[in-house]
Structure 1
Amino acid sequence: MSDTASSPSATVSGPPRTLRFPGFIDERPLGGFQLRTTLLCGLVMLLDGFDTQAINYMAPAITRDWGVSKGTMATVFSAALVGLMLGYLLLAPLADRLGHKRLVMAGVALFSLSTLASVWVQSPDQLIIMRFITGMGLGAATPSTIALTAEYSPKRLRASLVLAIYCGFSLGFVAANYTAGWLIPAYGWRSVFIAGAVLPLALLPILAWRLPESISYLLHRGDHTKAYSLTRSIDRTLPETGQAQLEAESAEPGKRVKVTELLSGRQLLGTVLLWGVFAINLAMFYGLQSWMPTILSERGYSAGTLATAASMTTIGGIVIAFVVGPAMDRLGAYSSLSALYFVGCGFLILMSLVLGSPVWMVLAAIFLIGCTVSGGQKSVIALAAAFYPEEVRATGLGWALGIGRVGGILGPVIVGGLLAGGIGHERLFMILVIPTALCGLIVLYLGRRAKQQLKVV
């Protein structure tokens, strides 16, 4: 047999072979190209988490340096959250026009440059503006980062890989803690901004070189040649362009996704309920993160215990991701996440029972709550990545994250109001069982609804 006849790129007779997307990815094993894409997306999420959390560790030094009030610093914190929400709602949908890769790079460039500019701010007002712009950049990059990871992941591994990159966000929190603890005493709080800017700026050329564009975006744009070239990066045995072609399994070429499509037809109820889970979960996450130190302090626990408790929530969310992700892929996304929420009800009851007990028991309960609240936050993002098809995924994720931020803003207010109203600590955790169970019921209903729709199709 000749070399020409044995070559996968040799000319073959008959019509070109047609490949279907995304089925093409689902039918093949996970390869190095996809793992590299996942790693790059995970690095973006890590830097996102670093920049989001670093300002919290800088706050005491900024307060001492400028002599500003806690209310002013609260406005600084809120500026980034408002910018983040607007980035999710307004910038993330631009992925339909610009492509996921461009939006990730634009978002990284925006939040890194605004962070670098924060080094030279001279007043709280200037810092508030820079934090708002930083939040916009973070909000632009995150949904497309998740969408790219989901798109290049085989369906059987999608939840695991999305959860893996979102663990990068949590690791960014940890990195911010250690970096700030090292830099601020030696070089001042502005040095943390330098670290938060230089790292993503260094990542930008690597993203330009190695981060692939969305195949779905290219197909809907009509650029089949570039889309097929990316499939050959996944499977080197495929023939060259001209001997095969790639087609999308859904949506018309050139179709632009509108936000209204998330709220029309069969998507309406599912989208609204999914938004509810996002908002409730984030309300609980930020409510507990904000008030847990106060609760533990009032129960007589030491400052060291308070610091450890804060990290236990994050660690719990990371550890459970390695359990829930594979479970969502193998046993079903909806059933696995609903089970996590229902089990989490028991963890909250446990916390109400062990308050006042030895430190190790309280920390263990907080770790378990972190599995539910922090782990649930990551898992519902993986669920949304599976819930929305490729052509609306970035827009759907962006709006779910944006609406969820409303819950994140209200959570500390609601928990604070309950505590101010005289609700005891034990009773507070019992009350939080209700929204946790509600999340479980909603996800369970969405799963049954999804099965019914598949039967109709």
Structure 2
Amino acid sequence: MLPESKPLQLPQFVDERPVSPFQYVVIILCGLVMFLDGFDTQAISYMAPYIASEWNLPRQMLGPIFSSSLAGLMIGYLVLTPLSERFGHKKAIIVSTIVFSLCTLASVWANNVTELMILRFITGVGLGAAAPSAIAMTGEYSPKRFRATFVLAIYCGFSLGFIAAGLAANWFIPHFGWRSMFWIGALAPLMLIPVLIRFLPESMVFMIQRKVAAERILKIFRKIDPTIARQEKPTFIVDALEQGQGQRGALASLFTRDRVLGTVLLWLVFAINLGEFYALQSWLPSIMTGLNYPMSTVVMATTLTTVGGIAAAFITGPSMDRLGAYKTLGILYLVGFVCVALTGLAFKSPLWMLLIANFLAGCCISGGQKSLIALAAVFYPAPIRSTGVGWASDGSAGLLAPSWSAQPWVWAGHPRQFSMPWPCRC
């Protein structure tokens, strides 16, 4: 007869134990999903001038292609993300990865704008559904003391995917054509899918609430802490604060009396931060081109915004866990106010000063956007975390959608000589 033990309780079980190798595997897999999400999202921007050249398109015709992907992202965030609370985060991540990889693969054979728009729309739906579920899964398998750090770490995967897309485009497009980027963006996630099926677990909270067989749930608990004894009738408890979400829909739970103010403020700050990011990303190339900087310098300065956001994550993540999320973000935005102001003054200064100012502004603006994702993952409990993250991201996206489809181009007459402030969630 197996012994009976006291009930295993979430999230205390995860919070009270060291991070296990099993949890690191979960976080790495979610980070890889975010990396491929970022690669696929940004790759189309580097292909755009080559598509226009091959298909003899006026540049304004590329706007609908970008907008269709953006519309798909919104649908993924708003409509599909809440479904992950009903069917499970693992299923949501795997299905959405299959969707965006297959549609990206089908884009290889697109022959006109209409076909590419449809495929990019469906691709965007998959991309939009994958990220919030990956963030929610990371948050659930992370101890509270490291949650912001780990969420920021996987969100940096998205930015690294953006950078990798640029490096890949620089090599593959001149040698193999623009369709090679679709091949890479499709085959890499297709190779990851079997790994996700084999090694990515389901949400523990979801399994407990859906009354999955106790032996299956205990198996995951024992992967986190192998010292737990096998039990004849294991029992599990989800914190009452989180368990109560099951009484209402995930979306409605964002607006309960004790949460509505925080949700509204989170959406507002998301929108302001994203507006700052796009203002910086959109106008910097135009201003620097007007000041007669070479294109290589313009691209480098624009990329520093993203690099700064990645660098900031190494500071803001641990700070949010140790000093508090709200205090850290408050300080970050105060510093950001100064850095953005210095960027404006630095246009009349030597180039090295402008690049440093732009990097620091990116630390605060791009880094602030990542930190807000981490804040949402900390603010919302596990049963509604993916919905909270998805709707917060899309609330800001919806406010700024018109500006995304009207980004100015800086064109130098040849498909390889261009800079475009592409839509970016970096």
Q: Distance in 1 between matches of 2:406 and 2:162?
A: 24
Q: Does 1:247 align with 2:229?
A: no
Of residues 283, 298, 322, the one that matches 2:314 is 322
Q: Does 1:235 align with 2:225?
A: yes
Q: Distance in 2 between matches of 1:90 and 1:412?
A: 21
Of residues 346, 349, 352, the one that matches 1:360 is 352
Q: Distance in 2 between matches of 1:96 and 1:131?
A: 25
User: What is the CA-CA distance between 1:243 and the residue it aligns to?
Assistant: 6.0
Superposed CA RMSD in Å reads 1.7
Q: Distance in 2 between matches of 1:266 and 1:295?
A: 45
Q: Distance in 2 between matches of 1:157 and 1:347?
A: 28
Secondary structure of 2:39's aligned partner: helix
Contact 1:220 1:255 survives alignment (8 Å): no
Contact 1:287 1:415 survives alignment (8 Å): no
Contact 1:183 1:191 survives alignment (8 Å): yes
User: What is the CA-CA distance between 1:63 and the residue it aligns to?
Assistant: 0.7
Q: Deviations over 1:247-305 (max 9, x none)?
A: 11121596563312212312211111111111111122123212210011112222111
Of residues 391, 394, 412, the one that matches 2:383 is 391
Q: Does 1:175 align with 2:164?
A: yes
* Counterpart for residue 295 of structure 1: 287
Question: For 1:29-178, what aligned pairs fall within 5 Å after superposition?
Answer: 29-178=18-167
Secondary structure of 2:7's aligned partner: strand
TM-score, normalised by the number of residues in structure 1: 0.86
User: What is the CA-CA distance between 1:413 and the residue it aligns to?
Assistant: 8.3
Shift in CA distance, 265/254, structure 1 to aligned 2, threshold 3 Å: closer
* Counterpart for residue 197 of structure 1: 186
Q: Distance in 2 between matches of 1:235 and 1:377?
A: 34
TM-score, normalised by the number of residues in structure 2: 0.92
Contact 2:336 2:364 survives alignment (8 Å): yes
Contact 1:305 1:359 survives alignment (8 Å): no
User: What is the CA-CA distance between 1:408 and the residue it aligns to?
Assistant: 3.9
Q: Distance in 1 between matches of 2:407 and 2:52?
A: 25
* Counterpart for residue 405 of structure 1: 397
Contact 1:314 1:374 survives alignment (8 Å): yes
Shift in CA distance, 196/414, structure 1 to aligned 2, threshold 3 Å: closer
Q: Which moved more, 1:205-214 or 1:67-76?
A: 67-76
Q: Distance in 2 between matches of 1:123 and 1:153?
A: 45
User: What is the CA-CA distance between 1:17 and the residue it aligns to?
Assistant: 1.6
* Counterpart for residue 209 of structure 1: 198
Q: Distance in 1 between matches of 2:404 and 2:37?
A: 22
Mark the structure with the bigger radius of gyration.
1
Q: Distance in 1 between matches of 2:193 and 2:279?
A: 34
Contact 1:57 1:180 survives alignment (8 Å): yes
Q: Which runs of 4+ in 1 moved over 6 A?
A: 413-416
Question: For 1:245-324, what aligned pairs fall within 5 Å after superposition?
Answer: 245-250=235-240, 251-252=243-244, 255=247, 257-324=249-316
Task: Specify every segment of 5 or more residues in structure 2 that has no aligned partner in the other structure, as ranges.
Answer: 409-426
Question: What percentage of aligned pairs have identical amino acids?
Answer: 49
Q: Distance in 1 between matches of 2:330 and 2:406?
A: 24
Q: Which moved more, 1:237-246 or 1:184-193?
A: 237-246
User: Aligned letter for 1:233?
Assistant: K
Contact 1:83 1:132 survives alignment (8 Å): yes
